[in-house]
Structure formats: structure tokens, C-alpha cells
């Protein structure tokens, strides 16, 4: 018979109390539930505001793409004529070329931007946090693309 060098643990004393992990977890969950209930109105208001902001951005995006398309069509027809007229100053021609480039960038980003906005709206309406989180980076990319266009005007 071999003896272990490690003594066996002693059973808990009859009079000592033991805190169960499940009780600790239940207390934590109850605390979280209480905090959510206390801030429910604020959480719901933030969701409502986010949805309205997304709706506004979607409408602004639609308007921007519509008028970018109109401007781009005009510039596509006008630029070949303007470039052939020596009376038009070079800085005006350069400005028109830059405007055509900007409108084209807006048009080119339309599909991805519209999809991102629609997905975020769906996530906000359905409470799908993963759908919203997944588009945070894409919304940042949209913002950065707009910022990149703005200094060029």
C-alpha cells in the first residue's frame, strides 16, 4: 500500500457556510436585470434616435446620389465641349474635372453605402446587436470616404 505525499482535503466543517457559485451568478444576473430595468427608457431612446438618424442618413444618401447622377450626366456632356474651347480658363476646366470625379465617387459608392444603411436599420429595428456591430467598421469607412471627398471641393 502506497501513501500519498499529499493529504486528502478535509470535509467542510458542519457549522461553516458555503456560498454556491450558482447563487453568486444568480445575484449578478439579478443586478444586471435591475440595471437594465432602471435604464430601459434611456436604452430604448438611444435605439429610437439611432434609427431616426439612420433613416435621415439614408434619405440624405438617396438625395445625394440622385443629384450626383444628374450633375455627373451634365458634366459628362459638358466636359468634352469645355476642354475644346480655349476661351475657358484652365482653373475652371480643372474644377469641372474635379467635380465630375467627386460625383462619380458618390455614384460608385452607392450600392455599398445603401446596403450598409439598410442593414443597420434592420439591426436597429429587430434588436440584432451583431448585425449592428458588424457594420460599425463599414459606417466608419463611409464617413472616411465622405471626409476624403470634402477637402477636394
Report the mean per-residue pLDDT for the chain.
85
Cβ neighbours, 10 Å, residue 146: 14
User: 54 falls in which pLDDT band (50, 70, 90)?
Assistant: very high
pLDDT of res. 29 = 87
Q: What is the largest CA-CA distance in the chain?
A: 110
pLDDT band at 79 (very low <50, low <70, confident <90, very high): very high
Question: Which whole number is the average pLDDT over 136-147?
Answer: 80
CA 71 to chain centre: 28
State the pLDDT at residue 70. Answer: 96
pLDDT tens digits along 99-117: 999 899 889 989 988 988 9
Rounded mean pLDDT of 54-70? 94
| Least confident stretch, 28-37, 107-116, 126-135 | 126-135
**CB atoms < 10 A from the CB of 100, how many?**
17
Record the cell numbers describing residue 5, joined without a space. 505525499
Residue that is written with C-alpha cell 477637402 in the block: 151
What per-residue confidence (pLDDT) applies to 147?
Answer: 81
The single-letter DSSP state of residue 78 is H
Distance from C-alpha of 119 to C-alpha of 16, rounded to nearest angstrom: 55
Domain boundaries, the chain: 32-152
Global confidence as pTM: 0.68
CA atoms of 123 and 130, how far apart (whole Å): 8
Amino acid at each position: 500500500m502506497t501513501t500519498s505525499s499529499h493529504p486528502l482535503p478535509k470535509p467542510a466543517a458542519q457549522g461553516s457556510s458555503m456560498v454556491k457559485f450558482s447563487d453568486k451568478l444568480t445575484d449578478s444576473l439579478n443586478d444586471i436585470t435591475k440595471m437594465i430595468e432602471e435604464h430601459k427608457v434611456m436604452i430604448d431612446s438611444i435605439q429610437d434616435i439611432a434609427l431616426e438618424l439612420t433613416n435621415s442618413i439614408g434619405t440624405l444618401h438617396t438625395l445625394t446620389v440622385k443629384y450626383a447622377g444628374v450633375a455627373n450626366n451634365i458634366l459628362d456632356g459638358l466636359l468634352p465641349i469645355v476642354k475644346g474651347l480655349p476661351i475657358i480658363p484652365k482653373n475652371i476646366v480643372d474644377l469641372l474635372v474635379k467635380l465630375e470625379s467627386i460625383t462619380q465617387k458618390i455614384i460608385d459608392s452607392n450600392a455599398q453605402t445603401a446596403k450598409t444603411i439598410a442593414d443597420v436599420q434592420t439591426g436597429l429595428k429587430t434588436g440584432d446587436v451583431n448585425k449592428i456591430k458588424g457594420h460599425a467598421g463599414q459606417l466608419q469607412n463611409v464617413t472616411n470616404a465622405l471626409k476624403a471627398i470634402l477637402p477636394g471641393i
